[in-house]
């Protein structure tokens, strides 16, 4: 199913809301996040932050931090990048743990998982094939590093490529994370409670075809998602390297921020 068809399937009256209430703007919310925040993407993250922050206010954004992106070297406490993270956190940016390395180096059981790992994520679904113990170890280590850097508790985790295996789901609850999200919902891993539901808009920069389909989806998203109680917008470092994507992101953020309350994940 295409992403547009998948979104359409989950739009509007599937929420069970009476049509008369669907137009109430007060219930409409927007959550904006910058993914893959790591030292190797410092310039791209700066540009996304400048663009999104100018529309929503920096203090309403979330950053998804990867402690050791593709095992190229973990973020060092005390480094300029770590100090920048702490500075953003102090201004109110919500810091969310986003895997350990982001790279899927697990061997996958079952053809469905092998297919998802290979085709949906280009090897980026780190938490899809991990055992409970391995997921637990990476969550604990990643959280300790991020908490050390920002000097505050970290309570939210979002898996790379939004993919969670059974081991990851169990470990998240055990480790005491109270917020996680996948493509369609935000939930509390400790209680299993659903905190919010709504689609994610993201752009892809990997090929011209993907860029074109991202741009197309962004143009129909305002009408298609108008009735959704929550819309999430996820920005990736690669977006900052394609001018047409940055223009589309600006327009999309302006539209949704104008029509919705911009919220933090912690407020959901
Ligand atoms: Zn990511």
Q: Which of 157, 156, 159, 95 is nearest to 121 (CA)?
A: 159
Centre of ligand 1 to C-alpha 42, Å, is 14
What's the confidence (pLDDT) of residue 27?
80
Centre of ligand 1 to C-alpha 26, Å, is 30
- pTM value is 0.87
Q: Which residues of 13-36 are buried (b: 16+ CB within 10 A; e: fewer)?
A: eeeeeeeeebeeeeebbbbbbbbb
Q: Is 254 helix (H, G, I), strand (E, B) or coil?
A: helix
Centre of ligand 1 to C-alpha 151, Å, is 23
Centre of ligand 1 to C-alpha 20, Å, is 38
CA distances, 55 to each of 10, 59, 97, 261 (Å): 27, 11, 24, 12
What is the greatest pairwise CA distance in the chain?
54
Over residues 88-131, the pLDDT tens digits come to: 999 999 999 999 999 887 766 677 766 766 666 667 889 998 99
208-224 vs 243-259: helix crossing angle, rounded to 10: 10
- Mean pLDDT, rounded, of the chain: 88
Centre of ligand 1 to C-alpha 101, Å, is 10
Residues of the chain with confidence (pLDDT) below 70: 1-26, 107-109, 113-114, 116-122
Centre of ligand 1 to C-alpha 135, Å, is 16
Q: Which domain holds residue 155?
A: 3-267
What's the domain count of the chain?
1
Q: How far is Cα 164 from Cα 168, in angstroms, rounded to an integer?
A: 6
CATH number of the domain enclosing 14: 3.20.20.370
Over residues 140-160, the pLDDT tens digits come to: 999 999 999 999 999 999 999
| Percent of the chain topping pLDDT 70 | 85
Helix, strand and coil percent figures for the chain, each rounded to 5? 50, 15, 35
Centre of ligand 1 to C-alpha 200, Å, is 13
Joined together, the tokens standing for residue 141 give 């280590």
């Amino acid at each position: 199913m295409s992403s547009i068809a998948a979104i359409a399937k989950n739009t509007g009256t599937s929420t069970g809301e009476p049509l008369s209430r669907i137009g109430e703007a007060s219930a409409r919310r927007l959550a904006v996040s910058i993914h893959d925040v790591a030292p190797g993407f410092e310039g791209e993250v700066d540009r996304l932050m400048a663009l999104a922050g100018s529309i929503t206010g920096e203090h309403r954004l979330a950053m998804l931090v990867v402690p050791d992106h593709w095992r190229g070297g973990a973020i060092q406490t005390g480094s300029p990048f770590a100090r920048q993270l702490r500075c953003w956190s102090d201004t109110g940016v919500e810091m969310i743990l986003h895997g350990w390395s982001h790279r899927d180096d697990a061997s996958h059981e079952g053809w469905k998982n092998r297919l998802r790992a290979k085709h949906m994520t280009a090897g980026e679904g780190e938490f899809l094939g991990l055992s409970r113990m391995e997921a637990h170890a990476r969550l604990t280590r990643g959280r300790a590093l991020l908490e050390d850097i920002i000097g505050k508790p970290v309570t939210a985790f979002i898996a790379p490529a939004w993919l969670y295996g059974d081991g990851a789901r169990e470990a998240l609850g055990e480790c005491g994370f109270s917020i996680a999200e996948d493509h369609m919902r935000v939930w509390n891993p400790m209680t299993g409670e659903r905190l919010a539901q709504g689609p994610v808009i993201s752009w892809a920069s990997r090929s011209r075809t993907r860029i074109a389909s991202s741009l197309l989806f962004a143009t129909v998203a305002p009408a298609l998602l108008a009735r959704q109680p929550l819309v999430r917008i996820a920005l990736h470092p690669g977006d900052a390297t394609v001018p047409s994507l940055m223009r589309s992101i600006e327009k999309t953020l302006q539209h949704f921020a104008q029509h919705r309350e911009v919220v933090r994940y912690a407020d959901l």
